[in-house]
Amino acid sequence: MKNISICVGSSCHLKGSYKIIEMAKEFIANHNLEDKVTLGGAFCLGRCTDGVTIKIDDEIICGVCPENFQQIFEEKVLNA
């Protein structure tokens, strides 16, 4: 089971948390990962300058944006 948290603090929100959450939900549904992944929010992961910040298990990944989303999620979620 993988735990993914997406930061919804002020800075990450402004940098597009909403879009990343939507993409993550879609990604999980498209790959039928509902039983393997839990998706949650985080209330500021302390990396405000380089959001959107997400946390996959214990690894913090900064600067997630729609452009690198596929690559990060394929690498860290699908093929991990």
Partner 1 sequence: MINNSPFSLCTDIGYFSVNKHDEQLCGDHVELIEQDENSVVFVLADGLGSGVKASILSTLTSKIISTMMANAMSVEECVSTIAATLPVCEVRKVAYSTFTIIRITNNTEAEIIQYDNPMVILLRDGKNFDYPKTSTVIDGKTIYRSKIPIKLDDTFITTSDGAIYAGVGQSLNFGWQRDNIIEYMEDIFDREYTAKALAGMLLDECVRLYGGVPGDDTTVGVLKIREREQVNLMIGPPSDPADLKKMQTLFFSKQGKHIVCGGTTSTLTAEFLGKPVIPCLDYISPDIPPMAKIEGVDIVTEGVITISKVLEYAKDYLDENKLYDNWSVLPDGASCIARCLFEEATDINFYVGRAVNSAHQNPNLPITFNIKMQLVDELSKCLKQMGKKIKVSYF
Which spans of this chain sit near partner 1 (rule: CB under 8 A)?
A: 5-6, 8-11, 13-14, 17-18, 21, 39-44, 46-49
Q: Which is nearer to partner 1, 35 or 43 (CB)?
A: 43
Q: Least Å distance between CB 78 and partner 1?
A: 20
Q: Least Å distance between CB 57 and partner 1?
A: 17
The span from the CA of 5 to the CA of 17, in Å, is 11
Residues 6+ apart with CB under 8 A from 1: 36, 37, 38
Quote the tokens at residue 76.
Answer: 């860290």
Q: Least Å distance between CB 11 and partner 1?
A: 6
The span from the CA of 32 to the CA of 68, in Å, is 21
Q: Which is nearer to partner 1, 5 or 27 (CB)?
A: 5
